[in-house]
Structure 1
Amino acid sequence: MLPKRSLLTALTAPAVAAVLISGAGTALAAPAEGTGTAEVAPLVSRFDNGSFESPFARTDSFTNFPAGQFIGPWQVSSGSVDLVDDGLWQAAEGDQSLDLNGSNTGAVAQTFTTTPGETYTVTYALAGNPAGGPALKTGRVLLDGQNIQDFSFDITGTSLTDMGYIKRQVTFVATGATTTLSFVSTTPGSAYGPVIDDVQVTSCCPCAC
């Protein structure tokens, strides 16, 4: 049988727009900045790579991506983030997840096509890096640079093998032909941030919703 990773193929990546928020924190005992692969911004299309499956993180470890680099269609818009393999800790879906605090407080953003006036729902799995404090990890969901949801996760009682993911949801009405969705850590002074995975964006007409 082929290894599970050999069954995955690279996703076609939509373009990504930068977010407004930046932060700083203490250094993490992690790979050096710039270990992620920089990419040219891809063309805008449908929302994709919500489980952060492409590119591959270091096996049984993680890869650090500083601001300006891309994780598939996601751009690291401030600070840095860690793309984490499930050999290091449990993913909510697939083989990888994203710590929003890499070597400092980070943020990621993805721009995708939308239909003005149509209602969209964003769902995602939320946890926190259990390897260090603070116990309460916090962050925000931004839509076109505007805060639409604050989130928090208490890592008390969780572990690398039982991350305790919870599902979060937020709904919005698109106002333009493209929309930028961002996840931003607000956990300062720490290299152990909120963890997100299994981000999904679905649409429905107002009558169906």
Structure 2
Amino acid sequence: MLAVTRPLLTTVALVGLFTSGAGAALAAPAQEPGPSGPGTLVSRFDNGSFEYPVARANSFTTYQAGQFIGPWEVTAGAVDLVDDGLWQPAEGDQSLDLNASDAGAVSQTFTTTPGEAYTVTYALAGNTAGGPALKTGQVRVDGQNVQDFSFDITGRTPTAMGYIKRQVTFVATAPTTTLTFASTVGSAYGPVVDDVQVTSCSCPC
């Protein structure tokens, strides 16, 4: 992982309920398959909906620390890439459970312009197959926690995941930035993230 200076950070609160396929979304870069592996740096944020590689049909594929999901590196524990035959994604055909057997984390490093503000928007839900009911985790920028998140799975089902949309804004201080989603749940049933988008904006956002 590239070493970069920690940025000045501003958090933005929960912005409301998210329904798959409904409502206006922030513009996102095209999500095209690209290179992955140690030392790979994408020039733009990519694969925010975890659409590649393809997970096992009607099931999931587990990725361990050090493995890659496109440009995303699993940086702690293990995670599950989940097909829409197992549960409802927020966008596209796949989503990511941040817990496989225990808490996991994924990171992506991409180019940024120092001094420019960026908004990270994502859809959040939880694995309904087991407890705890409250799924928790963190959004990190260059290793610094910029937002704690939580999702209560009470009343949710695989066909009605109840995604909510969250966002957080940071100001880049280096030509590269590493974005991380990390679970803080100690079980095999973690928070689920999908439809991650990163957009630049003029300050103040």
* TM-score where L is the length of structure 1: 0.81
User: How many Å apart are 1:45 and its aligned residue?
Assistant: 1.2
Counterpart among 107, 110, 116 of residue 109 in structure 1: 107
User: How many Å apart are 1:12 and its aligned residue?
Assistant: 1.7
Report if aligned partners of 1:77, 1:106 keep a CA contact under 8 Å in 2.
yes
State the Cα deviation string for residues 34-91 of structure 1 (Å, max 9, x = none): xxxxx44423310000000000000000000000000000000010000000000000
Counterpart among 173, 179, 201 of residue 177 in structure 2: 179
Report if aligned partners of 1:11, 1:54 keep a CA contact under 8 Å in 2.
yes
Counterpart among 197, 202, 206 of residue 203 in structure 2: 206
Match for 2:89: what amino acid? A
Name the counterpart of 1:12: 34
Counterpart among 70, 80, 88 of residue 72 in structure 1: 70
* Distance across 1 between alignment mates of 2:38 and 2:107: 15
* Distance across 2 between alignment mates of 1:182 and 1:157: 28
* Distance across 1 between alignment mates of 2:32 and 2:168: 28
**Correspondence 1:87 to 2:85:** yes
Runs of 4+ in 1 over 6 A off after TM superposition: none
User: How many Å apart are 1:114 and its aligned residue?
Assistant: 0.2
Match for 2:109: what amino acid? T
Name the counterpart of 1:26: none
Report if aligned partners of 1:73, 1:110 keep a CA contact under 8 Å in 2.
yes
Could you say what secondary structure the match of 2:161 adopts?
Answer: coil
Name the counterpart of 2:189: 192
Identity of aligned residues (%): 74
* TM-score where L is the length of structure 2: 0.82
Match for 1:46: what amino acid? R
Report if aligned partners of 2:42, 2:109 keep a CA contact under 8 Å in 1.
yes
Show structure 1 runs of 5+ residues with no match. 1-8, 16-38
- State how many pairs are aligned: 175
* Distance across 2 between alignment mates of 1:177 and 1:193: 32
User: How many Å apart are 1:179 and its aligned residue?
Assistant: 0.2
* Distance across 2 between alignment mates of 1:43 and 1:93: 24
Match for 2:34: what amino acid? T
Show structure 2 runs of 5+ residues with no match. 1-30
Match for 2:73: what amino acid? Q
State the Cα deviation string for residues 105-153 of structure 1 (Å, max 9, x = none): 1000000000000010000000000000000000000000000000000
State the Cα deviation string for residues 150-175 of structure 1 (Å, max 9, x = none): 00000000000000000000001001
